[in-house]
Amino acid sequence: QVQLVESGGGVVQPGRSLRLSCAASGFTFSRSGMHWVRQAPGKGLEWLAFIAYDGTNKKYAESAKGRFTISRDNSKNTLDVQMNSLTTDDTAVYYCARVKSGTYWGIDYWGQGTRVTVSS
Amino acid sequence: DIQMTQSPSSLSASVGDRVTITCRASQGIANYLAWFQQKPGKAPKSLIYAASSLQSGVPPRFSGSESGTEFTLTISNLQPEDSATYYCQQYNDFPLTFGGGTKVEIK
């Protein structure tokens, strides 16, 4: 079955960096586009970034542009997001999500999320 | 950016009721509309894609429809386990955008 397991969350000081990872299994990772989505405490869902199945196409939300970098390693079945210059507004649960085949960018599976707290 | 306006923000209904949630897009998105269910402390779960297609394993009491830029999620025969927050999302264009959510409470 499809499994997406995020890791790398934790408490980080403002201005610092953090790298989140998503380990994928149960499907052919190298054929699937992937997203990162986050949810601040008590708030709704916010799409952050997309990467195509082969890594050649990347898209970012305005809030992530210039600070976050999405990447993938199809040999290891992992998806990453490098987050720099973190602020308290980046405090959230971060989810990776799989693009459903045939939907361009639609989502079918989500990971369980990893919590990031930006605090001094 | 495409704005997704979801209503109502919350509702309360009884077991067995029929519940309708609406999402309006600020511009045309064809049928590139998804619905997600999220329970407290849990990851979202995908319910519907392409406005009206059920994801695998989703009970048939969930259904979706579209009329122009207005999209509807209907839960027929509401069950206790349907208590959750529901989000719509457009994936017609980047940035992908979500509606504000609808919290469904069981009376």
pLDDT score for B14: 97
Average pLDDT, chain A: 97
Name the residue facing A45 among B44, B49, B94 (closest C-beta): B44
Task: Note the pLDDT tens digit of each residue in B44-58.
Answer: 999 999 999 999 999
Residues of A in contact with B34 (CB under 8 A): 106-107
pLDDT score for A103: 84
What proportion of chain B, given as a percentage, has pLDDT over 90?
Answer: 100
What proportion of chain A, given as a percentage, has pLDDT over 70?
Answer: 100
Alpha-carbon distance of B45 to B52, in angstroms, equals 16
Task: Note the pLDDT tens digit of each residue in A18-37.
Answer: 999 999 999 999 999 999 99
Task: Note the pLDDT tens digit of each residue in B56-106.
Answer: 999 999 999 999 999 999 999 999 999 999 999 999 999 999 999 999 999
Are residues B91 and A44, on separate chains, in Cβ contact within 8 Å?
A: no
Nearest alpha carbon to residue A23 among A84, A101, A75: A75
What proportion of chain A, given as a percentage, has pLDDT over 90?
Answer: 97
- Three-state SS sequence of chain B: CCCEEEECCEEEECCCCCEEEEEEECCCCCCCEEEEEECCCCCCEEEEECCCEECCCCCCCEEEEEECCEEEEEECCCCHHHCEEEEEEECCCCCCEECCCEEEEEC
Mean pLDDT of A9-14: 97
